[in-house]
Amino acid sequence: MAEKILKKDDIGRLYSELEKEYKFYAPTKVKGNIAFKKISNAEEIELEYLNSKVPPKDVLFPQKETIFEYRYEGKDVIIEERKDLEDKLLIFGVRLCDAYSFKLLEDFFASGDFQDDIFLKKRENATIIGIGCNSPRQSCFCTSVGGHPFQKESTDVFLSDLGDTYLVEAISEKGESLLKKLSWLTDAKKADLTKSKELAKQAEEALTTKFDFDLVTKVLDENFEHPVWQEISESCIGCSSCTFLCPTCTCFDVIDENDEYNNRGRRIRIWDTCQSCLYTLETSGHNPRPAKIQRCRNRIMHKFSYYPSNYDCLGCVGCGRCITACPVNNELRLIIDKILEIEEKSGEKVSA
Amino acid sequence: MPNPYIPMLTRVKSIISENEVRDIKTIELEFQKEEKYKAFDYIPGQFAEISIIGKGECPIGIASSPTEEGTIKFTIKKMGTVTSAFHNRDIGDTIGVRGPLGNGWPMEELKEKNIVVIGGGFAFSTLRSLILYVLDDKHRKDYGKITVIYGNRDSGEVLYRDVLEEWEKRDDIEVVLTIDREEEGWTRKVGFVAAIVKEVAPSPDNAVAIICGPPIMIRTTVDELVKIGWKDEQILNSLEMRMKCGIGKCGRCNIGSNFVCIDGPVFSLAELKKMPNEY
Amino acid sequence: MVKFMGLETENKEIENNLREIARELLKEKKVDVIIGYKKGTLPLLSQPIIIDSEEDIDKLIWNNLCYVNLAKYLVPRVPRFVDPEKGNLTVGVVSKGCVGRALIHLASENKINLDEIKIIGIPCNGVVNRQRIEMEIGEKEILEVSVLGNNIIVKGKNFEKEFPFDEYMNDLCKVCKIRKPPLVSKVPDLCVGECEEYSNIVDEFTDIEEFDSKTPKEKWQHISEALSVCTRCYACREACPMCYCNLCFVDQNKPVWFGKTTDLPDIIVYHLIRAMHMAGRCVACGACSLVCPMGIDLNIINRKLEKIVKERFDFTSGLDPDALPPMVNFKMEDAQEFMLEED
Amino acid sequence: MTEPIVETKQSENKEWEPKIIAFLCNWCSYAGADLAGVSRIQYPSNIRIVRVPCSGRINAYFIIKSLTDGWDGVIVSGCHPGDCHYISGNLVARRRFAILKELLEFFGIEAGRINFMWASAAEGERFAVLVRKATEIVKKLGPNTKFDKKW
């Protein structure tokens, strides 16, 4: 299908046409931060943004989510499954690193003998409209983890910001059928395509942080007990900013919430984090990961060693949120540097 | 694929208080729908997420054997919020069950082999399941000699007295019971499990040792076994870990890249030695 | 390699003094390790650093971005502050006023032995309110920050903006009366560097008058809106030097006291009870607000607490290691106007 | 929790009545309430009493948890200052209550929902009067909705 052009002034029209069919999620300003929320007005859409504070995984895997509801009738329990999973979702204006995270999440939740039906159903019913990242931040490193500021593959429809207009490309079948509904879009010219390509190139060049993650994985696999972990975890204060703002973190806790006056309740899941002491604390009092060193290590190992060995890809999309969020600036780039230093040092020894 | 987080509903059929202190109970559950029971196809050593809806969920090893038809059993010690709530249940109460989960004891690999079962204290539940399974008429011929070494702090803590007595009467299974300290009226062995293992000295030839118990018992027992020629591959353990989902999604029960809930809970000592020491 | 970013400031003198003192302390073996700040890798940030050799001394910095309260690393001690053989090491702590206060208050709660630390006092003129600046800059990337005179100059691609420092410093710093670590008469050689003796701190609390005069409805509106974005990551708790409990009340599960979700009632309850626990203990460092990834401003609550404690119990935390904290203390004549009485 | 609860939060037909949880210290206020009962002094039936060893046992958890659990008001009553069975439990508690009350006000939550009082074992009459007063305050404030969760 041919590429189309969407004028920036026509976003409102796009919204009002799609809003009837889809639950329309878009980046919008909430208390000074960009967040993906279900919007009720096209004016709220904020497309000129760096990236959202809380990643858009929040839409498909919200911080608090009902697994099922229940009712007590005497000694009987009646379980009611969720009915809203069939709603059609539209996630508009997602950065490409986050769009890629949806693929990772989907692969993770679909892996193994048990599939997470709740997430997968939502994912199936969600259409993702991605937007190219013209000016990546200093803390971004998507190209090192197999992404790209203009990586179209993980979206359904792809937008690139050409100044006054957006170039619109349908990437998947879902995207094509969505574009068919927007028949009023004009056709793109060759110059627009060239411009988009140019922007992509510029964006790629703007990314200065680059890592060889194959090497990182190799070093991590060999150095579980290395003293560098002590150094890495030293200044960590054990808050969970990095994990809560991570687009690929999936850990959750399961809780029963009761409405005691009405003999009903719901089993919910809420985000949990490997940085919390309670995460692994057993009822007996034994804790397999009792200190910060183990918890910090678990986070890094999970993303860059366990993920590759279990799912054959890195558990990171290079969005840089953990880098900007860390309050003590104990950030990922430094950690990776320290890990790679192990390899350099051992290399020196061999050559010496 | 149905939502894997939704429990199947069962009812409490019977409750047995297992020990003198009365903080361990065995609860027998009957499925509310017959077809759900049919679908609940498990082997010894697997566990299930059982929940009191409104209180929470916890992973418990299945104590009954697939050969005991009609119901499933769990032995629960009163420890935290959910397990305490289990101790307050009455007959007829509704209980949710999700499972079976985990890999369980490798029943196929154990065939034709001698089995040495070593248990300590309350961790005997999945071992009970295993022994009942092997002793069943349908399966007995598939397996070799069975030796059971079961240790407890005192005689009041011995679980499953009825089946133990039955086993002691049989001649195709050797049962060695022990308690830590001498006690009046106790006619069986006295001493820590490791010491008894040394005394019994089970032969490693064509055999597999299955060990469940507190960490200190496991460590000392494994030392003894290694001394008399057992190999790491022949020693099986069942691990415990904090779990929420039981299906490899909630993240917390990983040891290295393995999840205890889906790759375990049964690991051989050889496998454990390859994993980081985070359990 | 990641580039470390400095902050161009005019207080080089403080920095030089600090390094001088630190060097001497290490050389004369008065301390085993020093904890201080070093340059961060992002503008508007600094990093804590632990130093045990003289080579690293030049990494120590001091500027208006040093907002982490270093007392946090002493309770409990990070592994490097404990020698497997010698036990607790003597730690030199680069301290602005509030870090010094935190250390002294923790000593009054018997969490720190003042003989095992040295306070390297620094006169602080306030830390930059980074969240406020980030929010006002909005969706543009900040690449460089400098403080010159009374101006914070923020530069990025195609923009440069100036913020007056006295307005864009952290709200608690604006009203701070204890800018240098307090001297402790009982342990006279506790402080090296610039410290000061404080007696009778007068505070009018004019800054929260406006909020205090609001109607309950307006207050609720403000508080519930501000807190509604909380993700319950507990960064505020983890950054707070006073939050050292092994198991926080929100994590307790036998029994479960309060909900863990991000529903508004649960968020409010968390912040309310945490505030309760801060009464008479908060040292007004503002770390909780400055580390919040969502940029929630908790300062106003801390100020209110300070006011209640000052007015009711005439107590200022972190001045005297021998003073009994107000919440474990009582006076027969404490005001009780709030108690229900017969008409 | 799982057992059916007979009482419902609001009876729809009648005029709304607040539900108040009262934590009474074992030595003074509980005995005071007892005395009020024995002396047939009437006080509102809105309160449900929990006996605690000392008002010093009560911290913010109990009070806030009561509010989150749906109680419309909380009363804490202990011995008069100086009369505490444990010498100073009520005095330490008084500081806690002062802070909690002011904080609630600051958060914009109706501080009138929580009421503190002293009542000795001999003051059955006073107990009844104060409970009446507290009930009126809470009744005026209306149902406690700030801590309601969405269902």
D77 SS3 class: strand
Domain residues of chain D, as ranges?
A: 20-140
**What ranges make up the beta strands (E) of chain B?**
8-17, 24-31, 47-52, 56-61, 72-77, 94-101, 114-120, 146-152, 174-179, 189-190, 207-212, 235-238, 254-255, 258-259, 266-268
Can you give the pLDDT at residue C236?
94
In contact, C172 and C100? CB cutoff 8 Å: no
Domain residues of chain B, as ranges?
A: 8-100, 107-238
Verify whether the Cβ–Cβ distance A260 to D149 is below 8 Å. no
C238 SS3 class: helix
pLDDT above 90 covers what percent of chain C? 71
Can you give the pLDDT at residue C271?
95
Q: Whole domain around residue A314: which residue ranges?
A: 213-351
Rounded to 5°, angle at Cα C33 from A326 and C111: 75
The C-alpha torsion from B198 through B199 and B205 to B207, rounded to 10°, is -80
Which phi and psi (to 5°) does residue C237 adopt? Answer: -70, -45
Q: From CA A245, how far away is CA A249, in angstroms rounded?
A: 8
Q: Of the given ranges (A80-89, D22-31, D50-59), which has the lowest mean pLDDT?
A: A80-89
The separation between CA D78 and the C-alpha centre of its own chain, rounded to angstroms, equals: 11
- Beta-carbon neighbour count of residue B231 at 10 Å? 13
Q: From CA C231, how far away is CA C117, in angstroms rounded?
A: 35
Comparing CA positions, the residue from C82, C266, C302, A265 lying closest to residue D103 is C302
* pLDDT band for position A183 (cuts 50, 70, 90): confident
Q: How far is CA A141 from CA A146, A203, A205, C152, C181, in A?
A: 9, 11, 11, 29, 41
Verify whether the Cβ–Cβ distance A75 to B55 is below 8 Å. no
Tokens 């086993």 map to which residue?
Answer: B167
Verify whether the Cβ–Cβ distance D91 to C332 is below 8 Å. yes
Provide mean pLDDT across the span C69-87. 92
Cβ of residue A118 closer than 8 Å to a chain B Cβ: yes
Q: Of the given ranges (C99-108, C194-203, D58-67), which has the lowest mean pLDDT?
A: C194-203
Which residues in chain B touch residue D2, judged by CB atoms under 8 angstroms apart? 52-55
Comparing CA positions, the residue from C199, C33, C228, C15 lying closest to residue C122 is C15
Q: Which residues contact C212 (CB under 8 A, 6 or more apart)?
A: C304, D106
Per the structure block, which two tokens stand in for A168?
């619109």
DSSP H helices in B8-61? 34-39
Is residue C1 pLDDT above 70, yes or no? no
The separation between CA B234 and the C-alpha centre of its own chain, rounded to angstroms, equals: 18
Comparing CA positions, the residue from B1, B25, B24, B23 lying closest to residue B14 is B25
Question: What pTM, to 2 d.p., does this model score?
Answer: 0.93
Can you give the pLDDT at residue B171?
87
Verify whether the Cβ–Cβ distance C2 to A334 is below 8 Å. yes
Q: For every residue of B123-141, which 3-state class applies, written as one string? A: HHHHHHHHHHHHHCCCCHH
Q: From CA D103, how far away is CA C277, in angstroms rounded?
A: 12
In contact, A317 and A247? CB cutoff 8 Å: yes
C97 exposure class (CB count in 10 Å sphere: 0-12, 13-18, 19+): buried
What's the order of all strands across the beta sheet hosting C142-148? C142-148, C151-156, C159-164
- For B90, which residue in chain D has the nearest alpha carbon? D3
Provide mean pLDDT across the span A254-281. 90
Provide mean pLDDT across the span C133-152. 88
Q: What is the pLDDT of residues C310-326, one digit of tens each?
A: 999 999 999 999 999 99
Chains contacting chain C through 3 or more C-beta pairs under 8 A: A, B, D
Q: From CA C47, how far away is CA C33, in angstroms rounded?
A: 16
Output the CATH code of domain B107-238. Answer: 3.40.50.80
A302 and A167 inside one domain:
no
Cβ of residue D107 closer than 8 Å to a chain C Cβ: yes
According to DSSP, the residues that pair with C34 across neighbouring strands are C51, C92
Q: Which of residues 246-275 of A touch D (CB under 8 A)?
A: 257-264
Can you give the pLDDT at residue D1?
43
In contact, A105 and A175? CB cutoff 8 Å: no
A202 and A250 inside one domain:
no
- Beta-carbon neighbour count of residue A331 at 10 Å? 23
Tokens 């170039």 map to which residue?
Answer: A167
A235 and A327 inside one domain:
yes
Query: What number of C-beta contacts closer than 8 Å exist between B and C?
Result: 6
Cβ of residue D2 closer than 8 Å to a chain B Cβ: yes
Angle at which helices A96-110 and A117-124 pack, to 10 degrees? 140
A187 and A304 inside one domain:
no
- Beta-carbon neighbour count of residue C164 at 10 Å? 11
Chains contacting chain D through 3 or more C-beta pairs under 8 A: A, B, C
C293 SS3 class: coil
Residue length of chain D: 151
Q: Of the given ranges (B273-277, C330-334, D136-140), which has the lowest mean pLDDT?
A: B273-277
* Single-letter amino acid code for the residue at B263: D
Can you give the pLDDT at residue D9?
52
Can you give the pLDDT at residue D2?
45
Q: From CA D93, how far away is CA D119, in angstroms rounded?
A: 15
In contact, A25 and A90? CB cutoff 8 Å: yes
Which residues in chain B touch residue D1, judged by CB atoms under 8 angstroms apart? 54-55
Is residue C216 pLDDT above 90, yes or no? yes
Is residue C74 pLDDT above 90, yes or no? yes
Tokens 């619109």 map to which residue?
Answer: A168
Q: How far is CA B79 from CA B120, B228, B246, D122, in A?
A: 18, 37, 19, 44
In contact, D124 and D39? CB cutoff 8 Å: yes
A118 and A224 inside one domain:
no
Half-sphere CA count of B157, side-chain side, radius 13 A: 18
- For D71, which residue in chain A has the nearest alpha carbon? A261
Which residues in chain B touch residue D5, judged by CB atoms under 8 angstroms apart? none
Which phi and psi (to 5°) does residue C37 adopt? Answer: -115, 150
Can you give the pLDDT at residue C160?
92
Domain residues of chain C, as ranges?
A: 12-193, 206-328
In contact, A228 and A297? CB cutoff 8 Å: no
Can you give the pLDDT at residue A80?
92
According to DSSP, the residues that pair with C128 across neighbouring strands are C169
Query: What number of C-beta contacts closer than 8 Å exist between C and D?
Result: 124
* pLDDT band for position C163 (cuts 50, 70, 90): very high
pLDDT above 90 covers what percent of chain B? 49
* Number of compact structural domains in chain A: 2
Provide mean pLDDT across the span D119-141. 95
Q: Which helix (H) or strand (E) holds C39?
A: strand C33-39
Can you give the pLDDT at residue C114?
93
Can you give the pLDDT at residue B62?
93
- For A66, which residue in chain C has the nearest alpha carbon? C261
Can you give the pLDDT at residue B1?
58
Comparing CA positions, the residue from B153, B145, B88 lying closest to residue B112 is B145
Q: From CA A73, how far away is CA A80, in angstroms rounded?
A: 13
Chains contacting chain A through 3 or more C-beta pairs under 8 A: B, C, D
* pLDDT band for position B184 (cuts 50, 70, 90): confident
Comparing CA positions, the residue from A240, A248, A246 lying closest to residue A322 is A246
* pLDDT band for position C203 (cuts 50, 70, 90): confident
Tell me the residues of B at the D interface, defined by beta carbons under 8 Å apart: 52-55
A97 and A245 inside one domain:
no
**Are B8-100 and B107-238 in the same CATH fold?**
no
Q: From CA C314, how far away is CA C306, in angstroms rounded?
A: 10
Query: What number of C-beta contacts closer than 8 Å exist between A and C?
Result: 126
What single DSSP character describes residue B92? Answer: T
In contact, B27 and B15? CB cutoff 8 Å: yes
Can you give the pLDDT at residue C13?
87
Which CATH fold would you assign to the domain B8-100?
Answer: Elongation Factor Tu (Ef-tu); domain 3 (2.40.30)
Which residues in chain B touch residue A82, judged by CB atoms under 8 angstroms apart? 3
Please state which of the four CATH numbers 3.40.50.960, 3.40.50.300, 3.90.1150.10, 3.20.20.10 is assigned to the domain occupying D20-140.
Answer: 3.40.50.960
Is residue A352 pLDDT above 80, yes or no? no
Can you give the pLDDT at residue D4?
44
Comparing CA positions, the residue from A7, A6, A59, A50 lying closest to residue A29 is A50
D131 SS3 class: helix
Q: From CA C294, how far away is CA A236, in angstroms rounded?
A: 19
* pLDDT band for position A210 (cuts 50, 70, 90): confident
Angle at which helices C264-278 and D60-68 pack, to 10 degrees? 170
DSSP H helices in chain B? 34-39, 81-87, 107-110, 125-135, 161-169, 193-200, 215-227, 260-263, 269-274
A118 SS3 class: helix
In contact, A57 and A247? CB cutoff 8 Å: yes
Q: From CA D146, how far away is CA C220, in angstroms rounded?
A: 9
Can you give the pLDDT at residue A84?
87
Comparing CA positions, the residue from A283, A292, A308 lying closest to residue A242 is A292
**Exposure pattern of C26-58 as b/e (b: 16+ CB <10 Å)?**
beeeebbbbbbbbbbbbbbbbbbbbbeeeebbe
Nearest-CB residue to A329 (from C42, C140, C259): C42
Nearest-CB residue to C262 (from A64, A137, A337): A64
Could you tell me whether strands C91-95 and C117-121 are parallel, antiparallel, or unpaired per DSSP bridges?
A: parallel
Is residue C48 pLDDT above 90, yes or no? yes
Comparing CA positions, the residue from B34, B23, B36, B39 lying closest to residue B78 is B23
Is residue D11 pLDDT above 70, yes or no? no
Is residue A323 pLDDT above 70, yes or no? yes
The C-alpha torsion from C108 through C203 and D100 to D34, rounded to 10°, is 90
Can you give the pLDDT at residue A344?
85
Verify whether the Cβ–Cβ distance C216 to D105 is below 8 Å. yes
Can you give the pLDDT at residue D10?
52
* pLDDT band for position A101 (cuts 50, 70, 90): very high
CA distance C299 to chain D (A): 13
